[in-house]
């Protein structure tokens, strides 16, 4: 990969998974999550190809984090277009947008952020027809900064809205990584855990390993260890038995895309947990910012599910484990139907027993409180 890396000597908490260094002519710095927990290495991306590679190869991952990274990817595209005439420059930005959107299909935060930047560039040009590419770069940079800051605020809001749900002595089961590493801020599901911990409650977080890429074992366990929260890692196939022992009082995960009816895509294995939670009468919560909702699709059937290279399953630590003649299947996400979800915790409040009408009413109320920007 063409990005530079440097070994960080200290951990700044919460870790900054996505950071822009400098002004409009700056660069994007990402923690290379493939190398955690062994090394904390930052990648420096100076062009959009590097950002696409970092997202596609999951150096940066997690729905909000890839959205924010893609937004800054367009700042880099606008940098490359400096010196071009307006038509050529805008075409370069639009091509970069398509490449970024094509990197990973499931998390809607990515296309949401890219489209928001494109809209900003278009409305800016409509209001300033004489503008040049330097002005466009500035407008795109401001919008990317807003997306980044809003994600930080949303994470905190989710934590504050949801932390009362975690009571003293509870067992909370989570899957994959919906923490600081997956966002620009302190995470979604993990933000709730951090706020409950900050409020002085003690509880245990059970973390699914999350095969095949082990985001739970490598990333969530690492984050929770930094925060000194009692953590027990389990293999994915142990969750049912754990619930049967009465050790889990809440399942709490993130989401990559939530349809208009509340069906939610998240890391493969989440659906299994939701079914198990229903069987054991354990509340199942999703934590997600408003940017994870996709009102354009009626149900989870329409969510595109990313299929990743089968080598992620065949190999462990780079060594083949499964005979080459055997077929493999590697869907990266699954969809949990709304009927299995106790509540969706957002920065604007909790949608309990989500369905199409409750979600529509929730958003209608938000628009009446906070009118959309023109």
Provide the annotated active-site residues: 256
Q: Does residue 182 contact residue 61 with C-beta atoms inside 8 Å?
A: yes
Indicate the residue among 143 and 256 with the shorter CB distance to ligand MRU. Answer: 256
Indicate the residue among 169 and 304 with the shorter CB distance to ligand MRU. Answer: 304
CA dihedral angle for residue 252, residue 254, residue 255, residue 258, rounded to 10 degrees: 60
Least CB distance to ligand MRU at residue 334 (A): 10
User: Which residues between 128 and 157 bind ligand MRU (CB under 6 A)?
Assistant: none
Indicate the residue among 74 and 252 with the shorter CB distance to ligand MRU. Answer: 252
Dist. CA 339–CA 263, nearest whole Å: 8
- In Å, how far are 41, 74, 225, 235, 355 from 368, measured between CA atoms? 44, 31, 41, 45, 20
Of 171, 164, 163, nearest in space to 192 by CA: 163
Dist. CA 235–CA 107, nearest whole Å: 25
Under rule CB under 6 A, residue 276 binds ligand MRU: no
Indicate the residue among 80 and 186 with the shorter CB distance to ligand MRU. Answer: 186
Under rule CB under 6 A, residue 183 binds ligand MRU: yes
Under rule CB under 6 A, residue 184 binds ligand MRU: no
Least CB distance to ligand MRU at residue 40 (A): 18
Is residue 252 helix, strand or coil?
Answer: strand
Q: Does residue 54 contact residue 43 with C-beta atoms inside 8 Å?
A: yes
Least CB distance to ligand MRU at residue 136 (A): 30
Q: Does residue 68 contact residue 113 with C-beta atoms inside 8 Å?
A: yes
Is residue 39 helix, strand or coil?
Answer: coil
Q: Which of 47, 256, 334, 347 binds ligand MRU (CB under 6 A)?
A: 256
Of 109, 11, 93, nearest in space to 60 by CA: 109
Question: 236 exposed, middle or buried (CB, 10 Å; 0-12, 13-18, 19+)?
Answer: middle
What are the structure tokens assigned to 193, written together? 């855990």
Under rule CB under 6 A, residue 182 binds ligand MRU: yes
What are the structure tokens assigned to 167, written together? 């009571």
Under rule CB under 6 A, residue 336 binds ligand MRU: no
What are the structure tokens assigned to 180, written together? 């600081």
Under rule CB under 6 A, residue 266 binds ligand MRU: yes
User: Which residues between 10 and 29 bind ligand MRU (CB under 6 A)?
Assistant: none
Least CB distance to ligand MRU at residue 339 (A): 20
Under rule CB under 6 A, residue 267 binds ligand MRU: yes
Under rule CB under 6 A, residue 291 binds ligand MRU: no
Least CB distance to ligand MRU at residue 268 (A): 8
Under rule CB under 6 A, residue 174 binds ligand MRU: no
Q: Which of 63, 71, 81, 133 binds ligand MRU (CB under 6 A)?
A: 63
Of 275, 76, 60, nearest in space to 180 by CA: 60
Least CB distance to ligand MRU at residue 354 (A): 16
Of 316, 321, 308, 266, nearest in space to 288 by CA: 266
Under rule CB under 6 A, residue 263 binds ligand MRU: no
User: Which residues between 210 and 239 bind ligand MRU (CB under 6 A)?
Assistant: 215
Q: Given the rule CB under 6 A, which residues bind ligand MRU?
A: 61-64, 107, 176, 178, 182-183, 188, 215, 253-256, 266-267, 332
């Amino acid at each position: 990969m063409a990005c530079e890396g440097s070994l960080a000597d200290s951990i700044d908490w919460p870790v900054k998974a996505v950071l822009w260094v400098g002004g409009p002519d700056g660069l994007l710095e990402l923690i290379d999550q493939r190398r955690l927990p062994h090394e904390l290495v930052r990648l420096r991306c100076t062009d959009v190809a590097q950002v696409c590679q970092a997202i596609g190869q999951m150096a940066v991952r997690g729905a909000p984090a890839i959205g924010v990274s893609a937004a800054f990817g367009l700042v880099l595209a606008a940098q490359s277009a400096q010196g071009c005439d307006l038509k050529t420059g805008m075409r370069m930005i639009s091509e970069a947008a398509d490449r970024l959107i094509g990197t990973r299909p499931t998390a809607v935060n990515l296309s949401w952020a890219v489209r928001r930047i494109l809209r900003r560039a278009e409305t800016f040009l409509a209001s300033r027809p004489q503008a040049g590419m330097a002005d466009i770069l500035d407008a795109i940079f401001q919008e990317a900064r807003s997306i980044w800051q809003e994600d930080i605020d949303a994470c905190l809001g989710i934590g504050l809205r949801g932390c009362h749900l975690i009571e003293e002595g509870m067992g909370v089961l989570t899957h994959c990584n919906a923490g600081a590493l997956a966002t620009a801020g302190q995470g979604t599901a993990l933000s709730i855990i951090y706020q409950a911990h900050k409020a002085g409650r003690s509880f245990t977080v059970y973390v699914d390993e999350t095969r095949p890429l082990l985001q739970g074992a490598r990333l969530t366990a690492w984050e929770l260890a930094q925060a000194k929260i009692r953590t027990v890692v389990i293999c994915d196939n142990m969750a049912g038995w754990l619930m049967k022992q009465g050790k889990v009082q809440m399942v709490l995960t993130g989401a990559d895309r939530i349809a208009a009816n509340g069906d939610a895509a998240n890391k493969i294995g989440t659906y299994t947990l939701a079914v198990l939670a229903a069987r054991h009468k354990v509340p199942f919560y999703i934590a997600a910012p408003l940017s994870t909702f996709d009102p354009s699709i009626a149900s989870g059937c329409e969510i595109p599910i990313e299929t990743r290279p089968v080598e992620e399953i065949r190999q462990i630590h780079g060594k083949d484990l499964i005979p080459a003649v055997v077929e493999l299947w590697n869907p990266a996400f699954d969809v949990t139907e709304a009927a299995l979800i106790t509540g969706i915790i957002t920065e604007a409040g909790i949608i309990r027993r989500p369905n199409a009408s409750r979600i529509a009413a929730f958003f209608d109320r938000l628009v009446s409180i906070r009118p959309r920007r023109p």
